[in-house]
Structure 1
Amino acid sequence: MSFEYYTKWWIKAKQKFEDLYAKDDAFMKKQRPLKDRKLTSKLLGGLYVNYSLIVQEIDACLDQMAQPQKRNTIRKLMDAATVRLLELNNEMRNIEISEYYYVDGNLIEMKLVPYDVEILHPALFYPRPINVEDMWQKIQKGEKIFIPPEPVIEEQVEGLDQEAAQGGDSAAEGAGVEKKEEVVAEAAEKTDPAGGEEGEKKVKDKKDKRPKQPAFQIEQKQLTPEEIKEMERKKALEPGAAKKMPPPPVPEVTNPAANIIQNIWRGYSTRQWVKRKENDRRLLIGMNEPSWKSKEAFERFEKNLNVRREYRDQCIREYVEAIDQERTRILRVVAPGLFEDIGDEIREWFRQFYIRARCFDKIPEEEKGGTVLVIRCETFTPEQYLDDFEKRRKEKLKAKGQDKQKAKELKAKLKKQEADKKKKEAERKKKEAEAKQKKKKKMDEYEYEYFDTTSKPLYNQGAQEHREIWDKINDFENPFEKHYMDMITDEKCYEVQLEVRRQVDELMRIELELLQDALEEDKWKAKGKKGKRKKKNKKKGKKKGKKGKKGKKDPTGDRTTEDLFQELVDNGIIRTYPCVRLREYFGDFSYKNWDLRVKDFDPPATLLDVRQAVIMNCIMPLGVEVMKRPKSVLIAGPRQTGKHLLANAIFTETQCVLFDLSPEVTFEKYTGAKGMKMLIHLINKMTRLLAPSIIYFEAAEKNILQENS
């Protein structure tokens, strides 16, 4: 599939998603609380099916799209659709009061099958940093990423020097031996260069001239009639054999026969051609499905997907390199001039403020915007500053004698407010208790209220970004899906400007303090006072937290990531895993479970129900940052039921770094209390650096059995 195909597919998928989200939003606003559990399941099941189809389409486009900047925007829309799908999944589980639920009724209405809503290839995971990904690729190939330097011992160095001193004599002796061997070889060549070979050839020729006699007598085989006829036919075809010419054809007989055969054949071939064209048209518009595809077709399709994925990864690498190079260029070329320009603007503000007000205003805090507010003229002018200063001075003088009275009034007011608050709280609790008493429901009653989805901010952000940037760009003008350099330049210029401005703010605050001190010194001298003015001690803010408590020291702070990575690999804690896909977990859905669930039965789950539960509860939540991830997952069952296959499928689909903490792996490693602390520290540190990562325990019950025994 080509770039044009996926681009058109994305345009259609985006339109479908916008329509579905608008319909979902309007439905949630208008719908009243539902009391029928089956009706609620049907309504949410329809939304679940539609979102499953949309997620699959966006997932396919995101997987094969190589333009790195557009991928970031599509990623936000993908996250929004996935979050909404997982919310519906949780609601369906709560409605059915089971880990498994069935939407066969909605599938029948939409003329679908359960396989159509199963997401087997979720491309949800953010790529790791390039250096981390390169390390993981080397580990998977069996290469080492860190080799500790060997310590050099003085005794070894002295031994090497002695060997080097003795090496001259031994080299001379070796040269003499080599010369002797060369002389012997030359003498052998002069005597008889090929004498032995010629003698052997003569003996062989004599042996070949001897008459060969069969070891046994061959019996004559009796020919069959068919073989005799075949021999006669071959003799008849020989050049010397007499040929019998067939009688000449009669045109009155052959011509009508040929016309009939031609008409029948042309009609048959035309009908077959029309049938093939109609079948192709139906396949193209989706009316028919191919009954069978060869294995080569699937392999060719997968190969094409992998080719585009490799090209996608290459484009992402080029994009990251372009970002680094552009940032370096801006810091080298633009940042020095920008630093001076911002500093000159702030100094000019100091000067103008002093000329008009004979004092200096404070620089706004960094959290509020810093010197950006000064450039935007969002701070006080000198006149406004003086008016505000005079107003505060008068208020301070006026309120000097009223502080005690105000304190009493404030205390009484707070006391009254607290009493009113307690009274209202008691009334509220009383009303809630009465309402609960009135609304006592029976066990079979149910009420569902729609909630505001958490996917709305993600959707709004992604839709707005796509509307402002990508709707104005013609994707077909960039068929190779390269990054847009002007967008990188604008983004990095803005980031560098903010970074430089923070540095300038720190410098300007220091200069402002010096100017304030100089101004106070001038005022001190203007009053005619002698001696040095005592500087006011600045009140230092109290540090929060316990006194003297410092942050924990990193015991591996002096070691590189490669060193720690290689240590865990050597100890077998980080290991590779077989590439297993979810589609290799074979099974089928049960097509009667929905009918049984409608009749209030709880049927057992099938193998593909388990696979679907693994997708929705284990794999997809790990791919979205805003989703609440499962803290742990237990895969339990009897032997030969596919537990390891499901675990390896989770590892493969999430493309994670696997930390194996099974008892067999950690036995006699990192022993003792210090060793255990170091292991926990390494796991906590490296799982965050190498994310996405999964901690795996095999036969976890063995630890529990040992503790209980």
Structure 2
Amino acid sequence: MSSAMYNEMWHQTQEALNSLLDKESQKTVEPHRNQVFIFHMLATFYIKYVQIFRNLENVYDQIVHPQKRILIRKILDGVMGRILELKNEMVELELTEFHYFDDILQDLKLAPKSSVKTITLEQAVKLIQIAERARQGRLRALFMKQIFLQEYRARQARLLGERVADVAAAALRIQKVWRGFHQNKKTKREREEEMMFLGMNPPPLFNEVSTTVIQAEKVTRQRDELQIKHEEDYKKAMDTIKDHLQLIEGADIKENLRDQIRHWIIECRNVTGTFPEYPKEEEGGSAIIFSNKTPQQVIEDIIANQEEEEKKRKEKKKEKKQVKKVKEKKVPKEKSKEEDEPWKMSPSVFLRTMEEGNNTYKDMWKNKDESLNFPQDYDPEMIKEEKRKELESEIRVQVDELMRQELKNIKLAVNREKELPVKTGKKKGGKNKNKGKKGRRGKDKDLTADRTIESLYKELVEEGLLVQTLKVNLSDYIGEYSYLGATLRRVSIEPMPSLLDVRQLIALYGILPLGSAEVHQNAPLVKSLLLAGPSGVGKKMLVHAICSETGANLFNLSAENIAGKYPGKNGLQMMIHVVLKVARQLQPSVVWIGDTEKTFYKRVPNAEKTNEPKRLKKQLPKILKLLKPNDRILIVGTTRRPFDAEIQSFCRVYQKIILVPRPDYASRYGKYPGRAAEP
């Protein structure tokens, strides 16, 4: 599709997002008590955000305009984070990881998977004809086989009856052989053509890639190359345009800032009778004074602040006396209110991000005419506006230094004030600060400060702790949707989760947070996952799928893999330190612990005591505490015998436990169409 088509898709998706934000702001403010209504509302928002996410993902992948891609990525991160927030709300509401939206999808007239295209009457008749001709062909083949066997028996009988052959008979026999060979070859060719016509055999070039697919792949490569080229041009333009603005407008901006600050100083002197205190650099300098305000508005704010401070001083004394009485009275009341308090959605971190992106879209791109921008290159005017603000902030720092000194000189000249020595305050708390730093250094001591990341990476590869991931996509994990989940829950029957439900949870808890740093930092944090299920259901495949989809490094800390490596307590400490250090530097990273029940054995079998399978039992909780929201590291454990582990310590380590069941009939039939389901 063309760039115009993807731009139109983006505009439609933004309109849908805008209406959804309005609906959510209206419905979530009102408190609710009905749990069924609350879940229906959350699930509806969740489904619509998933639709918007898929459209934005497609648009972000195909649009080549660099400035549009920056805005779309910002909105896309907000949508992903909101999806995770809604999922967390539903989990806390229903106390289960698996949710079913059968009735809601039916109300929205949506299918849980891609809809099957309907066929025309002619295509249906053709399919019936192919099946009927195939049936007739099988019958004819059986009939021809019987005729062939009869002729063969008669021919053998004649050959045994003839004892002496003359020349004429020999020539006739040669002719028969030749004509038979020629006819067999012709019949074989006609039979192949007939089987292809009946649809029983594929055409000759069936396994070869069609020209249409080759052309589509070529267009995709060209679009990717164009995206990279436009982004490089955009980055170069950011530097060149800024330098150009500094040469042309730098002096004017500096002079305007100085005149503005001088006017503020003089007006404050005329209104208050004293010169103002110049804001410090740590507070933002003069930027906090003139942030979207005129000098007159700044003066009015100063007068209003002085009046408010006088009122607050009088009210503080009354408030201090009443604080204790109010607290004592409110404590028992709050406990009673908590029981009858209606449900209210927790505040969202990503709604503000989406609203800001949506407002930016309305202001810049909604009504922008791009008919002349056919190659979808960057807009230099937008870069000028952005860099003009950046240049102004840089010049403002220089102007603030000059104006601070100028204000001191004015005070000395007008008020004849003596400049008192300023107390630096370096001695106060100096010892405590040094102690705090020493304590931190002791805790965060780097055991491999003298080594490079490359050498540590090489060591982990040689030890087999850093393994190569298999190229597996999450879409390769085939499963069918559970169509009766909501119906079974209505009659108090908990349905068995399907493989598609498991795949959705892996995408939500594994792929989305690891794929975006902003989402991982602000969304509900999931540090560890446990995939529990029988052997052969794809647990290891899902671990590799997480790494393949996010480009994460895979660290294997299974009990069998670390046996005999880094022996002793110091060696174990060194191994964990090296793994975490490399994982942080090369994030996103996945730490996989296969057969993780061995790490939490109730009783270690005699055959495994030499391998020390419980080496990581005390270390895993410490590793989880060390992981911060900005560390895109996920610990994934897989187990087929969770009942062998100590449940309390087991569940303390893994935040989310996902049951991976055996594939049901629908999943098996979807994987092997045309075959009966295996028992």
State the TM bucket, normalised to the shorter chain.
Answer: 0.5 to 0.7
Q: Per-residue deviation at 1:692?
A: 3.4
Distance in 2 between the 1:503 and 1:665 partners? 59
Give 2:423's aligned residue.
538
Q: Distance in 2 between matches of 1:108 and 1:354?
A: 66
Aligned to 1:585: 477
Q: Which amino acid aligns with 1:647?
A: V
Give the structure 2 partner of residue 498 of structure 1: 393
| 1:442-466 deviation digits (Å, cap 9, x = unpaired) | xxxxx75455544431222011111
What SS does structure 2 have at the residue aligned with 1:114?
coil
Checking the alignment, whether the CA contact within 8 Å between 1:663 and 1:699 is kept in structure 2 is: yes
SS of the residue corresponding to residue 694 of structure 1 reads strand
Specify which of 60, 63, 66 is matched with residue 65 of structure 1: 63
Find 1:364's aligned residue among 279, 283, 303: 279
Selected match of 2:82 from 76, 81, 84: 84
- Matched AA of 1:592: L
Equivalent position to 1:427, from 324, 329, 335:
329
2:522 counterpart SS class: coil
Cα offset, 1:602, TM superposition: 0.6
Written as runs of structure 1 = structure 2, the 5 A alignment for 1:152-301 is: 222-223=173-174
Alpha-carbon separation, structure 1, partners of 2:267 and 2:288: 15
Match of 1:458 in 2: 353
Match of 2:49 in 1: 51
Moved more, 620-629 or 642-651: 620-629
Identity fraction in percent: 28
- Aligned counterpart, 1:619: 511
In structure 1, what residue type is equivalent to 2:535? Answer: R
Distance (whole Å) between structure 1 residues aligned to residue 251 and residue 581 of structure 2: 40
Deviations 1:531-565 (A, max 9, x none): xxx96462526348824233656857787776766
Q: Which of 296, 316, 323 matches 2:231?
A: 316
CA distance in 2, matches of 1:106, 1:293: 41
| Contact 1:574 1:660 (8 Å CA) reproduced | yes
Instruction: Identify the match of residue 531 of structure 2 among 632, 635, 639.
Output: 635
Matches within 5 A, 1:294-443: 304-305=219-220, 307-327=222-242, 333=247, 337=251, 341=255, 362-366=277-281, 368-372=283-287, 377=295, 420-433=322-335
Distance between the aligned counterparts of 1:565 and 1:228, measured in 2? 72
1:324 CA drift (Å): 4.3
- 1:224 is displaced (CA, Å) by 5.3
Q: Distance in 2 between matches of 1:567 and 1:584?
A: 32
Deviation readout 1:361-414 (Å, 9 max, x if unpaired): 542223554244788647999xx99xx9xxx9xx9xxxxxxxxxxx9x99xx95
**Change in 2 beyond 3 A, CA 1:520/1:419:** closer
**Distance in 1 between the 2:94 and 2:432 partners?**
50
The Cα of 1:611 is off from its aligned counterpart by 0.9
CA deviations over 1:618-659 (Å, ceiling 9, x no partner)? 222443253122111122333222112101111122233445
Query: What secondary structure is seen at the aligned counterpart in 2 of 1:634?
Result: strand
Question: Structure 1 residues 299 and 311 mapped into 2: Cα distance closer, same or farther (>3 Å)?
Answer: same
Alpha-carbon shift at residue 665 of structure 1 (Å): 6.3
Which structure has the larger Rg over C-alpha atoms? Answer: 1
* C-alpha separation in 2, matches of 1:346 and 1:305: 53
Question: 1:604 Cα deviation (Å)?
Answer: 1.2
Instruction: Verify: 1:33 aligned to 2:27, yes or no.
Output: no
> CA separation in 1, counterparts of 2:567 and 2:263?
65
> Do the aligned partners of residues 507 and 585 (structure 1) sit closer, same or farther apart at CA in structure 2, a change above 3 Å counting?
same
The structural deviation recorded for 1:496 is 3.0
Aligned match of 1:486: 381
**Quick check: 620-629 or 699-708, which moved more?**
699-708
Counterpart-to-counterpart distance in 2, 1:59 and 1:430:
50
Q: Secondary structure at the match of 1:546?
A: helix
Task: Answer whether contact 1:589 1:608 (CA < 8 A) is retained.
Answer: yes
CA shift in 2, pair 1:431/1:295, >3 Å: farther
Distance (Å, rounded) in 1 between the aligned partners of 2:249 and 2:275:
28
Q: Deviations over 1:41-85 (max 9, x none)?
A: 444433333332222112211222221211222233323433333
TM-score, scaled to structure 2: 0.60
Task: Rate the CA distance shift 1:42–1:378 in 2: closer, same or farther, 3 A.
Answer: closer
Q: CA deviation at 1:469?
A: 1.1
Rate the CA distance shift 1:456–1:327 in 2: closer, same or farther, 3 A: same
Distance 1:85 1:523 in 2: 61
Q: 1:484 to 1:587 in 2, by over 3 A?
A: same
Q: Which amino acid aligns with 2:502?
A: V
The residue aligned with 1:651 is 547
In structure 1, what residue type is equivalent to 2:14? K
Count residues in correspondence: 504
Q: Deviations over 1:9-51 (max 9, x none)?
A: 112222222223323333334x66242x444444443333333
Q: Which amino acid aligns with 1:497?
A: E
Asked if 1:471 corresponds to 2:366, the answer is: yes
The structural deviation recorded for 1:226 is: 9.1
Distance between the aligned counterparts of 1:92 and 1:352, measured in 2?
A: 59
CA offset at residue 484 of structure 1?
Answer: 2.0
Task: Report deviation, 1:98.
Answer: 1.9
Moved more, 641-650 or 687-696: 687-696
Between the aligned partners of 2:582 and 2:89, the Cα distance in structure 1 is 35
User: 1:546-587 CA deviation, whole Å, 9 max, x = no partner?
Assistant: 242336568577877767666666666555422211110122
Q: What residue in structure 1 maps to residue 500 of structure 2? A: 608
Amino acid at match of 1:319: Y
Change (3 A) 1:304 1:487: same
With a CA cutoff of 8 Å and minimum separation of 6, indicate the structure with the bigger relative contact order: 1
Uncovered stretches (5+) of structure 2, i.e. residues with no partner: 116-169, 183-205, 602-611, 616-679
Is the counterpart of residue 12 in structure 1 residue 4 in structure 2?
no
CA distance in 2, matches of 1:488, 1:569: 45
User: Using the alignment, how far apart are the partners of 1:16 and 1:42 within structure 2?
Assistant: 19
Q: Distance in 1 between matches of 2:458 and 2:381?
A: 40
Q: Tell me, yes or no, if the aligned pair for 1:353 and 1:361 is still in contact at 8 Å.
A: no
Which region of structure 1 is more displaced relative to structure 2, 666-675 or 71-80? 666-675
Asked whether the equivalents of residues 80 and 455 of structure 1 are also in contact (C-alpha less than 8 Å), the reply is: yes
SS in 1 for 2:590: strand
3-state SS in 2 of match to 1:477: coil
Amino acid at match of 1:601: I
2:105 to 79, 104, 107: 107
Question: AA paired with 1:491?
Answer: E
- The 3 A distance-change label for structure 1 pair 684 and 20 is same
> Relative to 1, partners in 2 of residues 1:64 and 1:474: Cα closer, same or farther, differing over 3 Å?
same
Does the C-alpha gap of structure 1 residues 618 and 517 become closer, same or farther in structure 2, counting only changes over 3 Å? same
8 Å contact from structure 2 (residues 559, 614) kept in 1? no
Distance, in Å, in 1 between the alignment partners of 2:265 and 2:479 is 80
Contact 1:346/1:371, CA 8 A, preserved across alignment: no
Q: State the alpha-carbon separation in 1 of the partners of residues 98 and 568 from structure 2.
A: 44
Change (3 A) 1:417 1:687: same
Residue 615 of structure 1 deviates from its aligned partner by 1.6
